[in-house]
Amino acid sequence: MIRVASLILLFGSTLVAAQCPNVHVFGARETTAPPGYGTAASVVSSIISAFPGATGEVINYPACGGQASCGDVSYASSVIQGVTAVTNQVNTFNSKCPNTVLVLVGYSQGGQIFDDAYCGGGDSNEGLSNTAIPISAAAQKKIAAAIFMGDPRHIAGLSYNVGSCQASGFAPRPAGFQCPFASNIQSYCDATDPYCCNGSNAATHQGYAVEYGSVALTFVKNKVNALNGSGGTTPPTSTTTTGSTGPTGGGTVAHWGQCGGQGWTGGTVCVAPFTCQAANAYYSQCL
């Protein structure tokens, strides 16, 4: 009897594992967008299409900013609920499918909740005082890439910033902040954005999926393939890229680092075998 039972259990878990995709994408929408992926939708679907059998999942959270149409849920409460939702959904999926490679794509407030859940450090802007990374250690290892578009936590100088913004968003990280997973992230934000930066053009904020969708996809593809090829460990790398990508003048720029664009004063030569490729007038990257 015991043997039969454990055989059935084994068989059962094999079946479940067989249903797990190679790649699973979590997407989180911006404030006031109706339930779904919001403006991140085209980026999420391009990633799903790039990997046969890949699946996607919407982060189930209010995405509110205090308006009556959103049940008066405040922005801060929405972010805190969002971080909890990201944590629960990512951890639950990873427990069920421990080998699946994970990707996070968040737009605006959706970027903020992934930023908070993946990088930790708390979020004093929204009253989130716990500074630990709430995503489980096992799930952290399976996250190949995180894309933030118009993230209000933007500050200048982070190694994963992409775009022309040199100021802070409305819910900025503290000065000197470092994400332990910096090398897995791209955060897109331009200077005229009023939410992730100090500009006044809301259209800029809504334009990132079009402006940066294809560079984001290239980044994700490379990170997913690298993680898959390495057998599933991505140690937090804080030393490999940060030193050489900052605007400190000269030096060889690491893979993914910025190597040009309007106002860029840092290195312009990429470490072999990468070359400096322009995404737009403001940003060139070693690819």
Ligand X SMILES: *[C@@H]1O[C@H](CO)[C@@H](O)[C@H](O)[C@H]1NC(C)=O
279 touches ligand X (CB under 6 A): no
Look at residue 163 and give its three-state secondary structure. Answer: coil
- Min CB(98)–ligand X separation in Å: 14
Stretch that binds ligand X, among 5-13, 87-95, 123-131, 224-232 (CB under 6 A): 224-232
Stretch that binds ligand X, among 32-40, 71-79, 220-228, 235-243 (CB under 6 A): 220-228
Task: List residues with catalytic annotation.
Answer: 108, 193, 205
51 touches ligand X (CB under 6 A): yes
Nearest C-alpha neighbor of 110 from the set 44, 22, 194, 161: 44
Residue 194, CA distances (Å) to 31, 116, 151, 171, 202 in order: 14, 20, 11, 12, 6
Residue with nearest beta carbon to ligand X: 167
Which residues contact residue 217 at a Cβ distance below 8 angstroms, ignoring those fewer than 6 apart? Answer: 43, 46, 47, 50
Residue linked to tokens 């009897």: 1
Output 83 or 196, the one with its CB closest to ligand X: 196
Rounded to an integer, what distance in angstroms lies between the CA atom of residue 177 and that of residue 145? 19
Nearest C-alpha neighbor of 76 from the set 37, 122, 41, 15: 122
Nearest C-alpha neighbor of 227 from the set 89, 92, 99: 99
218 touches ligand X (CB under 6 A): no
Stretch that binds ligand X, among 104-112, 208-216, 221-229, 248-256 (CB under 6 A): 221-229
* Binds ligand X by CB under 6 A, chosen from 45, 198, 201, 238: 198
- How many residues form the binding site for ligand X (CB under 6 A)? 10
* Binds ligand X by CB under 6 A, chosen from 167, 217, 226, 271: 167
**Sheet of 283-286, strand order:** 258-260, 283-286, 276-280
Rounded to an integer, what distance in angstroms lies between the CA atom of residue 120 and that of residue 138? 15
166 touches ligand X (CB under 6 A): yes
Output 33 or 162, the one with its CB closest to ligand X: 162
Output 135 or 196, the one with its CB closest to ligand X: 196
Residues forming contacts to ligand X in the complex (CB under 6 A) are 22-23, 51, 166-167, 198-199, 224-225, 228
